[in-house]
Chains A and B, each alone.
Chain A
């Protein structure tokens, strides 16, 4: 058995050595990231002190402002509203997007008749629709939910659609030979959606929150920006982790 020639213990030894190397590489990468972050923060601090506080704020001022904003409960109040709007909007958008995406990919009639419309709407910057939505729904939460819904809907719809459609026809045939073609197509479509998407939704929502925050003072403005950036980084890392779980073969580097 040529392709199994290594005895088991030998293979384990090689595996252990490889794991060790990988860990060392990871520590090194982490050190580089932290150093870079520190340098950037330092430059920001030095630069920020040279500029008028009406235009810009150094990290130290933001930390002070963050203390105030958090202490007074202002941030939490603000975030709470945003998060609720965010959750409702993205949940609705994801849900509807997935269903519509599957329907479009599997039903030829829907595919032919709706695809151009969906692509057109997908390419429309949703920001352009905000005044219209405000006109219809007022300035309240429902308008915000609607905006976030639309932000989420089209990327999710299109990704699901493409995911379901682009399942490898060879693998689809394998699944069909086990009488389970439809299941494979839809299951894979959803994974494609989760993996490829949500970034869009997150960045879109971030943009909106920043817009709503425009009347804050500069140092305070930076607080939600920073909070949001942190949330973004966390989410992206979380998605990466998820991707490694659901699609480990896409994570093959040179190991």
Chain B
């Protein structure tokens, strides 16, 4: 399914937390392509967040390398942006200021920032809220701001770490559909971590199943549904149940392994 060129190459990467005595991942190899949505699923605590932080250059690897367009990532590249599970909005800034954060730092001229920020806020359905502060917004709206901030700089790579996990079920479904609409319009490399198999199948071109810690790629499952997609159509698709069961089975093996390890350790 991935048609594009390799955008990010994770090569025999390892990250060890020495003080905690934890090997988050080891010998992990993975290619991520231009213009794809790759969904990462894996047991809780297997190292998904750590992997994203390493890809963004927020955390150094212990071994191996991560290449962005062939060049090793050492510090957060301008071409990447992160959407955080905890939203990560600055409470002292308005919706506008938060969305403009990345652009301001890039030193773009004011009128370009204005135009761009208005456009992204409109895209995420927040025009009319520019002067609000994060504490005045619901969780769903806060994450819209988080998404707007990440999209504003028009990055090539979007790293999303369980962006909807902190939201209630209804809000999550609404945001999933909107995210689908927005992401299908852009051509980016999107790495999307989630605990929800449905979400992974709804959004992803590929579902990358990771093993229990230390994480490695266990299986890559292509998701064949045509785009543009929508939640209801996919749930009704005859292939959906089978795919879901396959991912579930793979995950279940890992969860069992992890339980056994937890019991021993």
Report A's interface with B, CB cutoff 8 A. Answer: 1-4, 8, 170-171, 173-174, 176-180, 188, 191, 246-249, 252
Contacts and interface: CB of A to CB of B under 8 A. Distances in A.
B82 interface: yes
B60 interface: no
Contact of B58 (A2, A173, A249): A173
29 contacts: A1-B174, A1-B178, A2-B171, A2-B174, A3-B139, A3-B140, A3-B141, A3-B171, A3-B174, A170-B84, A171-B88, A171-B90, A173-B53, A173-B88, A174-B82, A174-B88, A176-B58, A177-B58, A177-B76, A177-B81, A177-B82, A178-B76, A178-B81, A178-B102, A178-B105, A179-B78, A247-B92, A249-B92, A249-B133
Given A8-B128, A249-B92, 8 more contacts: A2-B171, A2-B174, A3-B139, A4-B125, A173-B88, A174-B84, A179-B76, A249-B134
B70 to A, nearest CB: 21
A252 B171 contact: no
What 6 pairs between A and B have smallest CB-CB spacing?
Answer: A174-B88, A249-B91, A3-B138, A3-B140, A249-B135, A177-B82
Nearest to A174: B88
A8 B127 CA distance: 11
Contact of B105 (A171, A180, A246, A248): A180
B148 to A, nearest CB: 14
Contact of A2 (B56, B78, B133, B140): B140
Given A170-B88, A178-B105, A179-B76, A248 B133 contact: yes
Interface string B129-146: 000011100111100000
A253 to B, nearest CB: 12
Contacts of B171: 2-3
Contacts of B88: 170-171, 173-174
Contacts of A1: 125, 174, 178
A153 to B, nearest CB: 26
Nearest to B81: A177
B75 interface: yes
A18 to B, nearest CB: 12
A252 B134 CA distance: 11
B90 A2 contact: no
Contacts of B91: 249
Contacts of A248: 92, 133
Nearest to A191: B92
Nearest to A250: B91
A179 B133 CA distance: 23
Nearest to B101: A178
Contacts of B3: none
A126 to B, nearest CB: 32
Contacts of A174: 82, 84, 88, 90
B36 to A, nearest CB: 21
Contacts of A171: 88, 90
B170 interface: yes
A3 B124 CA distance: 12
Interface in B89-142: 90-92, 101-102, 105, 125, 128, 133-135, 138-141
A180 B80 CA distance: 14
Contacts of B84: 170, 174
Interface centre among A1, A177, A188 (most CB of B within 10 A): A177
